[in-house]
Structure 1
Amino acid sequence: MKKYFILYKPFLLFLATFFLSYIVLTFLYQRYLNGFEENRVDSITRMVSEHTEYVMQLFNNGSIIEESAAHPYMKLFFNQQYVARIVEGCNAISVIILFISFVVAFSGKLKTTLLFIFGGSLLIYVLNVLRIAALSALIFYFPKQESFLHGVLFPLYIYGVVFILWLIWVRKFSRYASKNTK
């Protein structure tokens, strides 16, 4: 058994670090969410909604958000028509937590790791705002495609970006990155 532990030590350390980071960050995020009243929108989701509204208003003045009085979500209107609701799961924090956990598990130099986490998280946030804006406009114009757009195309987009960031991290910056320059 000891032989296998030694043989697979890097992989086991990666798994332990990844899951520990993921659990700790998820726990902290859940504590943050528990600080809000049951039917109130958390401040991160509110900020994502406001940024989405700003982006959409660049292209269409008839785009606004409005907080639901009875439920914890923001209503998004496009051309004065209610097209979507922005709930806590739309704010991409769970995706950012997944991204950070992977980078930490494959960490490199501290400064590089922190800068990549900050830059990658910011990129994911911005692309998520653009994703919500585009999704809302597309749902307005193609309402019959809502299931495909929301359930397939846009998750593929956001997780594809995270995957590309992970590849860049592992290949260029992590402690396992190739040190050979061509």
Structure 2
Amino acid sequence: MEEILRQFLSSSNHSLKDSPFPMIPLSFDTSIMSPTECQQPKPQHSYIGLIAMAILSSPQKKMVLAEVYEWIMNEYPYFRSRGAGWRNSIRHNLSLNDCFVKAGRAANGKGHYWAVHPACVKDFERGDFRRRRAQRKVRRHMGLQVEDGDSSDEEGSPGSDPSPPIFPTALWNFNCAPRAPIKSFTIEAILEHH
């Protein structure tokens, strides 16, 4: 392809600087990566699974974002040769999934520690990283109504553990305040009140 482009440019009065299209490298320079990094398979775990494994591997059962990144790269060299996209996905998953909670400010004052929500610890320790199940457990833990879907989540069922939380309640910051139930309404009912 590069050769065709060179021939085209040399056979006409065109030049790259006149081109409205930027020159895009057509090959990927793998010389900066070790051969093993180039051949690493993509992990089979979801981002939720990777984050949970990282956090639960810590003696304190909490990590700052940079530590999560570092753990993932150390355990899965596949990510060392990837761009920033996977880091964005990690941040996104930490912030938007109820199974992860902020567990206090970092010692340096920059950022927060992240922990696994106490309602999800046992499942995650067993390697069960199913997002919907984790969300139901968190909502049930907070006293919110949960649709029936997986009866194995029920309190008192085999596998449930009423053990005390890992972190003091004062450190929990559930980025998911209980919401009022959505009530159905009609346009007429709204207009009656105005």
Structure with max Cα Rg? 2
Structure with higher helix content: 1
TM-score (norm 2): 0.23
